[in-house]
Amino acid sequence: MTAGASSKDILLAVSHVSLSFGGAKAINSFSFEVERRSICSLIGPNGAGKSSMLNILNGVYVPQEGLITYNGTTFERMEPLKVAAMGVARMFQNNALFGKMTVLENVMAGLSRKAKTTVIEHALGLPRARQESASFELKSDQAIDFLDLNPYRDLVVEALPYGIQKRVGLARALVSDPEMILMDEPMAGMNKEEKQEMSGFILDINKKLGITIILIEHDISVVMSLSDRVVVLDYGRKLADGRPEDVAKNPEVISAYLGTVH
Amino acid sequence: MGFMALFLETLIGGVLAGTMYSLVAIGFVLIFKASGVFNYAQGAMLLFSALLFVTLLKLGWPIPLALFATMVVTVIGALAIERIVLRPLANRSTMTLFLATLGLSFVIEGLAQGIMGTEVHALNLGVEDLPIFWGDILISQFDLYAAGVAITLTLLLALFFNKTRIGVSLRAVADDAGAAQSIGINLNFIWQVVWAVSALVGLVAGLAWGARQGVSFNLSLVVLKALPVLIIGGFTSIGGAIIAGVIVGAAEALAETYLGPIVGGGIQFWFAYFLALIFLFIRPTGLFGDAEIERV
Amino acid sequence: MKTNAGQMTVETSLQINAKPQTRKLPSASTIAFVILVLTAPLFASHYWLMAIITPVMILSLAGIGLNIKTGYAGMVSVGAGAFMAVGAYGMFNFAAHGGITNFPLALLLGGISAAIAGYLFGLPSSRIKGFYVMVTTLAAQFFVEWLFTKNAYFYNYGSVPTITLPPMTLFDLDINGNNTIRYYVVVIIVLLMTLAAKNIIHSHVGRNWMAIRDMNTAAGVIGIDSARYKRLAFTIGSFYLGIAGALWAFLFLGTASTLSFDINRSFQVLFIIIIGGLSSIRGNFIGAAFILLLPILIDYMVKATLGSALNPGFLSNMNKVIFGSLIIILLIKEPEGFDKMLRNLTGYIKRRKS
């Protein structure tokens, strides 16, 4: 795709966002844009502010400065529940799964916000409540199936291998039919085969389901092969921003970051 | 008696009584700071040591000997608790640890009263509770002594934490247990020290409270008085415990005097909790507590 | 396998032609238990029915209420007694002052009173957590005790601060004097409410509670309103506690006072759920049976071996020591309570058989 500015369909625009924790600047006047149905990667060394940026988008952190425009609406701060309602899902770096619940229950929790039935309907076991639960279960089973999690469906997640837990986290994000998924190191700690498998899922989600993805990932080869756009962060500042092949050529990026990873 | 004099008398009485709350709260803070355990059994330990002390006195032991024996027994008991109950539970959730100490309080109360009986004992520490007058204002001499003890104890603990090697290690553990361990600090040893010290603080508090309201099962309930103090002062600050104790004591006394007659009295049973709730709304982690951030 | 991908974008949720949920059949032990308590009047003695099964069932219900707050939603509450008291005093006051003598209606109103109290004391829970939530429940405990003791209105200006129901109606059944009917009323209410609790736990509400308990921030990010669901847990849990409190006061004790719902009652219910297992429905029954039967058993064994030489004070203190030790041992060895232990055991037996 060539840079025909007028044809761009921007889903998310972050403009001059700054965040500090008790005086220490984690993010410094950072701006970037994410095109609809694209995969945009945030890369940079540890502590560059990548996860903090996702937390700002989710409304977990409140930035001191800057604006965020999502789907044409501009916000000074995001709120977690509203962000979720706008169709932004999240895959967490530490998975943040609900440890004592089964895979199915974890995935179904991703649908909770769509529930329209009341606690009393459920207590009395009324048909409407049962139907809603059944439809949630069906929908969750589709996500479980999509991510090849069938064998683990009824197992408690805290006992599952790390790679499987990552996929459960993705299923939980995917099940609510999000417009965008924020993925924080979905492949951390995985071996080569698992990474390939996860890359396949991410591509499917993007290409077949048309879901926009913001990806934080350390494995540069994965980033280069998946991304439509790469944004490089260093010490809370933007170092480079562009197509993967252009970013890879940027001398500043090579010296600051890429150079260290052969 | 004028309005001002009554107000001052109530306030001073409350402040002095509040230091008694502080005394109990300090024992909690010590253990919580070092190991994250909210020791509900602190009240039971207080009861046990005071009951042991009066029982020995009743058996005709001289005061110094009885005191020494009580100290030895409570310290051994505290070390045993750390070893048998808390150490197997290391790294478990704060709530599990709390529930374990709740179970522990049943064990200690049961043992204390099963062995030494359930009757109420008077405890005379030789401090006569003669009122002192300051102008129109009446001040309890006993409360003055108790406040003096609380202040002395706090100063001693401050010295201990700031000047001794163990104290410094302890602060390191409180800041970051993992890091402290990596520089060669023995966590188990530190935990034993805080349990022993907090048992001794409990002994002092037990004697002070026992002398004031008699040694009975009710002593173990002072733990419920300390909880709002901890909420207001934060679970990790000794200074906070002192100040919060004083605030609770003063507010309680004022409320009982001015609000009590309007609503029918007896409000000291819940007033401290409501005060704590108000503080919580203003500062959800207490006056001096640190905010916890759940990382995602 | 990835052919479902296309469909997934199409529908949000509800319009999918959902097949009725495959309802899991109750286990054999559940069926046996229900049959046993329903047929007990045919063979069990009056003592067993009224002094053992009735209180076990009522405290199990209280356990479910507390488990909703503590086991499922993860908020430690040490004020169970307070909400039981509101249920009992609420029912009494609707009967005494409001003239409502229809038993189910008065009971329901008692439960709703407790639910409202639970909602109010649950309000701070949206801002605070952990021990701080515990403090609000203790505030409830002491405030409620004070309220119902100091204000004669709540015990209808009697000469002593106790409450006893006026004669009530229950269709054409004699709820006031007939023990068999009282037994069945308790058992049926508890069983039905247990079923309702099970339905709630398996709905999105139950999942949201557990999600908040396990990972609060993440729950918010995936769209679960944690403040709202915490308040809901407080409300529903307190409703259960309130019904249990009213049953305890009027169908078990007959006459009650705030002493029936003091902090020791709160601890008792807390111990029931720890012993039985946090976030387990069945565990409440195991825990309640255990906590009520153990003292009887100890008493019996001591009398059988030592005669009645021991004084009762000593005995009750030894009971405390045994309870306390048991709590500690369970937390160390089997943190998920007896329910988990039983499941492990039956799993072990099944494996041995096959």
Q: Do A135 and C219 touch (CB under 8 A)?
A: no
Are A37 and A147 found together in one domain? no
**Chain B residues touching C139 at Cβ < 8 A:** 270, 273-274, 276-277
Are A161 and A230 found together in one domain? no
Which domains does chain B show, CATH number per domain? 3-282 (1.10.3470)
Are A111 and A121 found together in one domain? yes
Q: Which amino acid is at C283?
A: G
Q: What is the ipTM of this complex?
A: 0.90
β A39-43/A65-70 pair status: unpaired
Q: What percent of chain B has pLDDT over 90?
A: 25
Q: How far apart are CA A15 and CA A100, in angstroms?
A: 39
User: Among C134, C136, C270, C317, which would you mutate to test the B interface (most chain B Cβ atoms within 10 Å of its Cβ)?
Assistant: C317
Please report the pLDDT score of residue C5 as a whole number: 38
When pLDDT is cut at 50, 70 and 90, the band that residue C3 belongs to is very low
Are A34 and A70 found together in one domain? yes
Please report the pLDDT score of residue A19 as a whole number: 93
CB nearest A109 (choices: C13, C18, C222): C222
Please report the pLDDT score of residue A124 as a whole number: 95
Residue A245: inside a domain: yes
Exposed/middle/buried for residue A149 (C-beta within 10 Å: 0-12, 13-18, 19+): buried
Span C45-353: which CATH code?
1.10.3470
Distances (CA, A) of B72 to A190, B203, B205: 55, 11, 16
Mean pLDDT in residue range C17-34? 68
Mean pLDDT in residue range C308-312? 70
Q: Is the confidence at residue C105, as pLDDT, over 80?
A: yes
Mean pLDDT in residue range B268-289? 77
β A180-184/A24-35 pair status: unpaired
Please report the pLDDT score of residue C10 as a whole number: 32
Mean pLDDT in residue range C313-332? 86
When pLDDT is cut at 50, 70 and 90, the band that residue C16 belongs to is very low
Mean pLDDT in residue range C131-147? 87
Q: Which chains touch B (3+ CB pairs under 8 A)?
A: A, C
CATH of the domain at A200: 3.40.50.300
Please report the pLDDT score of residue A257 as a whole number: 64
Mean pLDDT in residue range C142-166? 89
Mean pLDDT in residue range B45-59? 93
Are A252 and A122 found together in one domain? no
When pLDDT is cut at 50, 70 and 90, the band that residue C208 belongs to is very high
Residue A3: inside a domain: no
Last-in-domain residue among A127, A148, A177: A177
Please report the pLDDT score of residue A262 as a whole number: 41
Please report the pLDDT score of residue C1 as a whole number: 36
Q: Do A99 and C214 touch (CB under 8 A)?
A: yes
Q: What percent of chain C has pLDDT over 70?
A: 90
C18 or C266, which is more confident: C266
Q: What is the mean pLDDT of chain B?
A: 85
Residue of A208, A180, A187 lying closest to A89 (CA atoms): A180
Please report the pLDDT score of residue B125 as a whole number: 74
Q: Is the confidence at residue A22, as pLDDT, over 80?
A: no
Mean pLDDT in residue range B136-157? 83
Crossing angle for the helix pair C263-276 and C312-333, nearest 10 degrees?
A: 40
Q: Return the sign of the alpha-carbon dihedral for residues A29, A35, A37, A40.
A: negative
Are A173 and A185 found together in one domain? no
**Chain C residues touching B82 at Cβ < 8 A:** none
Compute the radius of gyration of chain C from its Cα atoms. Answer: 22
Q: Residue A240 belongs to what domain range?
A: 9-87+179-262
Are A160 and A131 found together in one domain? yes
Q: What is the mean pLDDT of chain A?
A: 90
Domain limits of chain C? 45-353
Q: How far apart are CA B76 and CA A161, in angstroms?
A: 44
**Chain C residues touching A146 at Cβ < 8 A:** 1-2, 4-5, 8
Are A41 and A107 found together in one domain? no
Q: Is the confidence at residue A51, as pLDDT, over 50?
A: yes
Are A187 and A260 found together in one domain? yes
∠ CA C277-C241-A134 to the nearest 5 degrees?
Answer: 65
Mean pLDDT in residue range B101-108? 93
Are A192 and A217 found together in one domain? yes
β A88-91/B137-140 pair status: unpaired
Question: Closest residue of C to A126, CA-based?
Answer: C199
When pLDDT is cut at 50, 70 and 90, the band that residue B119 belongs to is confident
Chain C nearest-CA distance from B40, in A, is 11
Do A248 and A258 form a contact (C-beta atoms < 8 A)? Answer: yes
When pLDDT is cut at 50, 70 and 90, the band that residue C14 belongs to is very low
Do C284 and C101 form a contact (C-beta atoms < 8 A)? Answer: no
Last-in-domain residue among A132, A157, A177: A177
Last-in-domain residue among A132, A155, A177: A177
Please report the pLDDT score of residue B33 as a whole number: 83
Q: Is the confidence at residue A64, as pLDDT, over 90?
A: yes
Please report the pLDDT score of residue C176 as a whole number: 79
When pLDDT is cut at 50, 70 and 90, the band that residue C309 belongs to is low
Please report the pLDDT score of residue C320 as a whole number: 87
User: Among B102, B248, B262, which would you mutate to test the C interface (most chain C Cβ atoms within 10 Å of its Cβ)?
Assistant: B102
Structure tokens at C166: 């006026």
Please report the pLDDT score of residue C2 as a whole number: 37
| Lowest mean pLDDT segment, chosen from A218-222, C204-208, C221-225 | A218-222
Q: Is the confidence at residue A249, as pLDDT, over 90?
A: no
Instruction: Please state the domain count of chain A.
Output: 2
Distances (CA, A) of A81 to A85, A180, A196, C228: 6, 15, 33, 12
Q: Which amino acid is at B173?
A: V
Are A83 and A108 found together in one domain? no
Please report the pLDDT score of residue A260 as a whole number: 53
Are A158 and A105 found together in one domain? yes
Taking the Cβ of residue A107 and every Cβ of chain C, the question of whether any pair is shorter than 8 Å is answered with no
Q: Is the confidence at residue C102, as pLDDT, over 80?
A: yes
Please report the pLDDT score of residue C354 as a whole number: 52
Taking the Cβ of residue A55 and every Cβ of chain B, the question of whether any pair is shorter than 8 Å is answered with yes
